[in-house]
Every structure is written in C-alpha cells, then in structure tokens.
Amino acid sequence: MKGKFSVLLVLLVTLSMLASTALVACTQATPVPPTQAPKPTEAKPAAPAATQPPAPPTAKPTEAPKAVVNRAGVKLPADAAPIEKQVMRYAETELKWQTQDASFYDENVGDMFAWHDTCVRPDKEYVPQPNACEKWETSPDGLTWTFHLQKNKVWSDGKPITADDWIFTLQRYARAEYDFEWFYEMANIVNFADVANGKKPPEEMGVKKVDDYTFTVTTDQPTPYLIKIFADLWVVPKHIVKDRMNDGSWSLDPKNYVFTGPFKLETWTKGKQMVFVANDKYTGPFPPMIDKIVVNFMTPDARWAAYKNGELDAIGGGYENDLPPSAMAEIMANPDLKKQLISWPNFMTYYLFFDTWNKPFDNLKVRQAFSHAVDRDKLIEGPLKYQSVAGYTMNPPGFPGESVNALKGVQNYDPKLAAQLLADAGFPGGKGFPKLTMYTRNAAPALTAAAEAVAGMLKENLGVTVEIQNLDYTLFMEKLRAEKKNKKGDFIFALVPYEYDFVDGSNMLSPWGGCEKGETNMALMPGRHTWYNKDFNKLLCDAGAVIGDEAKRNSMYQQAEKILISDVALVPLWHPIYVAMVKPDIKGAMFTPAKNGQITWQRHRFTSRESLIYHGTTPR
C-alpha cells in the first residue's frame, strides 16, 4: 500500500504542477483585474481564469486649452499665443505733447488709441461708423446735427463721459494758437472762427447740450461731410483740463492721466519708451486684444536692423520712412521678408509751397519755373523707390474730385521752359535770385534725400541755390502759422506732406482755403498757407453745401483744383505708397481685405488697428 500510495502521490503532484503551469500561461495572455481576497472562513479552491477580456482602463479626459484673456477681460481667439506674448513692440520718435488737443502734429503715439476716443470711426471703406456717438441725425434743412452718446462710457478714472466733455472739446479746439484749428473750421460750426479769433465767447459757438448724453451742432450752411470730420473729433476730459485755453501741458502731469481709448499709459520713460496696457474701463466697439504696447524711442535709421533682430513686431506704415530704398531692395530680394511686407497707396501728397504774398514767389512766372524744374520720375526711381508715385495734383489718384489725368501736363517736367520762365521773371540763369532755405518737417532719411535731390534739380535747371533745414514738428508749424499771421517772414519755401483726414473732395484742398464768411483780413482767411484766391474759396464753399449730388460736388472740386495747380500755389511732387513690415505671427481682423482687395497697416485713427490684432501660434 505504501508503494502504491507513493506512486499515486507523485502522480497527483505532477498533474497539479502541469495544471499550475497552464494556469500561469493563460493568466499572462489575458490579464485580469485583481479580485478581493476571500475571507479565511470561506476559503475555496482557486477558480479557473476568466474567459472574458477585462474593460480597458478609463483614460483621463483631455483638458481643453485655457482661453487667453487679457487684463481688460477680453477673450482672444482660440489660436492666440499665451498672454505673456500679447505684446506689440513698436519704434517711434519721441515728440513733445501727449494729446490731440495740444498739437495735431507734435504729439506722441498713444494719442489715438489711449488718451482720446472719437465720435465716429471710419471702416475699411472710409464710411463713418458709430463709436462714442452711437447715432446721429440731421435737421431737414441740413443745418443742425444731433448726436446721441454711449451712456456707459467712462474715463479710466471712472468719471462718465458726457455731452459736457464733447462741447468743451469743440470749444477747446477753437484756439488761434492751436495748430489744427483751421481744420475744424471746415465743419462750418456757427461762430467757431469768431471764438477762435477771440471775437466771441465760447458759449456762443453753435454747440449745445440737450441732456447728459445728447448734444447738437449747428452750422452756417449745410455741411454733409461734417460727420466725416467728427472721425477726428477727439474728446477731452473737461473735469481734468478745466481751462479751455490750456496749452496741453495738463497731460504731461501723471496726476492727470485719464484715458478713454482701448489702452492706457502705464509708464513713460522719457528718452527711452512708453508702455501702454489694455484699458479695463473701455466699453466701446473696439475692445483691445493686445495686452500691452511697448513704444521704443528710436531713430528711423535704426529701426530696420531692430526689426530684423526681432526687437520690433512691426515698422513702417506712417509718415516716417522706416524702410529706405536699401531696406526695400533687401526685402524685394528675400522671399521670406517679402511675405511680411504690406504695401498700399495712401491718400497723401508731398509738395513744395511758397509764400506767394511776398517776393520772389509773388511772381507767378517764378512759381511756374519751379514747377517745371523738378523731375518727379527721378525722385520715385531714386530716394523714393518702391514707396511713391509721381504727383502732379493735390488730390491723389482715386480720391473724390481728383483730376490727375486732366492736370498732369500743367506742371510737367520741362527744364528748358523752366529756365525761360525764370529769365522772363528777371532772373536769367538764376542771377540775382536770392539764396533759398527749403524747410522740411521732422524729416526721415528718405525725405531728406528727396529734398536734396529737388535742391539739386533747382540748381541744375534754374541756377538757384537751395539749402535744406529740417525742423521739428512744433517749430515748423509755428513758423508756418507765423508767416500767415504776420503776412511776412523767412518761411517762404518748404516741403511738407498732407495726409487725408477724411475721404471727401473738400478735405485735401482745405489747407488752401474754404468759406470766407465776410473776413477781409488775409491772415484770417481759411486754410493754412500764404496763398489766396477768391474764386477757389467760393468753389470750395459752394461745393461743401451741395447735398445729395456727389457728382456735382466733385465737379466743383475739380474746378477748384485746376485754379490751385494753374496758379502754382504748390508744386506737388509725389504720392506715397505706404510700406510696412509686420511679423508673421501677428493676426486678426486688421488683415481682412477691403472691398477692393487691399490690405493695409493703416494708422490708428482710421482703423482702430491695435484693437484688431493679436499674436497667434501659427503664421497668418
């Protein structure tokens, strides 16, 4: 028995080992979840392996990327880069003033997207859209405009923006020493000119309060383009400024920093930079997307290198030619750089002007000689290459009322005719002609090069010696106003640009005149230049009063411009093609083409640019 039992025991052990081996093999092929250990009193033989595969482990849910929200609470598009990258870095020239009511020409960047906001803003087709003024209507006779304001709009200090601010703003712009006062005269507001000249108190201006959020504007005559002018009506904080005649220094005191635009000034390190951040009190139709704007003060000749080195996000697209011909040649030869280039024709004219009330430019033959002595083609193929087209008129190609083709031959390049005209004026070969200074305004290198080229042509074709003197914005405009106010002076010859303020046939002719309103003092005539023509003024004034017939209005503007060009009030030289370089990760509605297919990097006040861009995670 003992032997049989031993044999049986060995057999049982062997079978048990084989069964265990099979169980292990099965378990390795199909994992099973661990089971709860049985209670000791319920111990049972091990169960066979499960035949059904176990459920897969539950995957953790993928977290959606967090939305990028700037400090003003604006949620950026889904492809926006992290908030710390939502910074735009620009380069500008540091100027004197901060706000539009101090100076239109000598104000730092930030005036148009931070300090002020406007009544209306144009869209990409230049049509005025509601902004701080939510709606408006005109009386049947076209003389009274009623504006209704956004009721929840506040300054950055929390104070409401009311009709009192807007009335104070218009009264404030009516200051004789203000360098853009002449522009607002075009609105034909009752008594505006008399208030500016000190003949009447500001309370007699045709601007009245209806209630806290409604005001009216009354004009001397129907002025259909007034709503377009109000795209340049930048509201001023009455509770801060208080004095209508303040020269603008109120905004240089940090205690007075209040803003109504999409951004606000955080720091200003003089000589170095300005930093703006999104304004959390802004409630208008253009909420900021970019979180911060850093403006570095930098000379124009240093900006191209800074852009290539990644120190700037965009350059160009303004008065200062940040991209000289050498940079443009480099861009056009480099496919990667060329993709970052944005270019578009701008409604703007660079021109020579004269003091036609005094010698030697009171002689029409002298002015005609100068107009025929400049080879515009050499300018646009030389220092202005890729950035201009030849100009023969004040109104640029495509602008309402322009007469480019009809007037091109009036001041064509003809050096022989130019020399003969100067001789007929009593200065053969330039003999006896006074040495001239050509003044330029805050000129970038490309503009200086163009001015030098013009001076060379006058020397070669007329024998006239011209030196170039560049002035800052403030001094240039002071000398320009003084020349007209005094009806004499040394500011008799200069080169300057004029960019459109609104798209209407009246706008770019307005520096030369407008409605006279019975004034006899030449110094107080409309416009900013020392040139006068009664027929020109009547045409501009009458055209401005025409309602509902744009063809008739534009025909009258064409007649007026023919007088202007034929009398050589100016010598148009070129119309700029604006160029800008913008890094590829900058995206947004700013890059949506207009109806004509054009994409621009236009200046702030026309497009609310800084509210329409952001840094993306992929190229645009």
451, pLDDT greater than 50: yes
| 492 pLDDT more than 70 | yes
- SS3 state at 276: strand
Q: How many domains does the chain have?
A: 2
Q: What percent of the chain has pLDDT over 90?
A: 82
Q: What percent of the chain has pLDDT over 70?
A: 89
CA distances, 281 to each of 113, 256, 258, 267, 432 (Å): 13, 16, 11, 18, 64
Residue 58: predicted pLDDT: 59
The model's confidence at residue 309, banded by pLDDT at 50, 70 and 90, is very high
The H-or-E segment that residue 554 falls in is helix 550-566
- Average pLDDT over the chain, rounded to an integer: 89
The structure's pTM equals 0.84
The verdict on residue 536 lying in a domain is: yes
Range 285-306 average pLDDT: 95
Residue after which a domain boundary falls, among 221, 252, 283 = 252
pLDDT, average across residues 371-395:
96
Structural domain contains residue 418: yes
pLDDT at 53: 52
C-alpha span between 577 and 391 (Å, rounded): 12
Same domain, 237 and 383: no
In a domain, 18, yes or no: no
Last residue of a domain, one of 577, 595, 612: 577
Domain co-membership, 438 together with 554 = yes
Structural tokens at position 448: 């200086």
**pLDDT band with cut points at 50, 70 and 90 for residue 44:** very low
Question: Quick one: 521 and 373 in the same domain?
Answer: yes
For the stretch 507-529, pLDDT in tens is 999 999 999 988 889 999 999 99
Q: What is the DSSP letter of 290?
A: S
Amino acid 55: pLDDT: 55
Same domain, yes or no: 373 and 514: yes
User: Tell me: the pLDDT tens digits for 143-153?
Assistant: 999 999 999 99
pLDDT tens digits along 242-276: 999 999 999 999 999 999 999 999 999 999 999 99
Same-domain status, 233 and 352: no
Quick one: average pLDDT of 433-451? 94
For 197-214, how does the pLDDT look when each residue is reduced to its tens digit (9 = 90+)?
999 999 999 999 999 999
60 vs 271, higher pLDDT: 271
The answer to the question of residue 177 being in a domain is yes
Do 410 and 542 lie in one domain? The reply is yes
| Residue 154 falls inside a structural domain | yes
Identify the pLDDT of residue 318: 80
Stronger pLDDT, 35 or 139, i.e. the higher one: 139
Q: Are residues 446 and 556 in the same domain?
A: yes
* One domain, residues 247 and 373: no
pLDDT at 323: 87
Of 19-23, 268-272, 340-344, minimum mean pLDDT range:
19-23
Q: 514 near 185, Cβ under 8 Å?
A: yes
Please, what's the b/e burial string for 158-197 (b: 16 or more CB within 10 A of its CB; e: otherwise)?
ebebbbebbbbbbbbbbbeebbbbbbbbbbbbbbbbbbbb
Model confidence at 481, pLDDT cuts 50, 70, 90, reads very high
Q: Domain with 165 in it: what CATH number?
A: 3.90.76.10
- pLDDT confidence of residue 559: 98
Q: Which two tokens stand for residue 249?
A: 């220094």
Which pLDDT score is estimated for 149?
Answer: 98
pLDDT class for 485, splitting at 50, 70, 90? very high
pLDDT band at 61 (very low <50, low <70, confident <90, very high): low
Looking at residue 189, what DSSP letter applies? Answer: B
Compute the distance between CA of residue 367 and CA of residue 265 in angstroms, rounded to an integer.
47
| Whether residue 126 has pLDDT greater than 50 | yes
Give the dihedral sign, CA 377/381/384/390.
Answer: positive
**Residue 56: pLDDT band with limits 50, 70, 90:** low
Same domain? For 508 and 363 the reply is: yes
Task: Mark whether 391 and 493 lie in a shared domain.
Answer: yes
Asked if pLDDT for residue 43 goes beyond 60, the answer is: no
Q: Is residue 84 part of a domain?
A: no
Angle at 215 between CA 213 and CA 221, to 5 degrees: 160
Asked whether residue 473 carries a pLDDT value surpassing 70, the answer given is yes
- In this structure, are 351 and 452 located in the same domain? yes
Tokens of 237: 């904080």
Partners of 439 in beta bridges: 469, 494
Of 231, 252, 273, the residue at which a domain comes to its end is 252
Task: Read off the pLDDT of each residue in 23-49 and give the average, rounded to a whole number.
Answer: 35
pLDDT at 306 over 80: yes
Domain residues for 477?
345-577
Q: pLDDT value at position 529?
A: 97
The tokens describing 330, both together, are 């480099």
396-to-60, 180, 389, 392, 538 alpha-carbon distances in Å: 63, 22, 10, 9, 22
CATH number at residue 386: 3.10.105.10
Going by DSSP bridges, is the β-strand pair 388-390/436-441 parallel, antiparallel, or unpaired?
Answer: unpaired
| pLDDT (0 to 100) of residue 65 | 72
Q: Identify the pLDDT of residue 48.
A: 41
* 595 belongs to a structural domain: no
Q: Is residue 440 in a domain?
A: yes
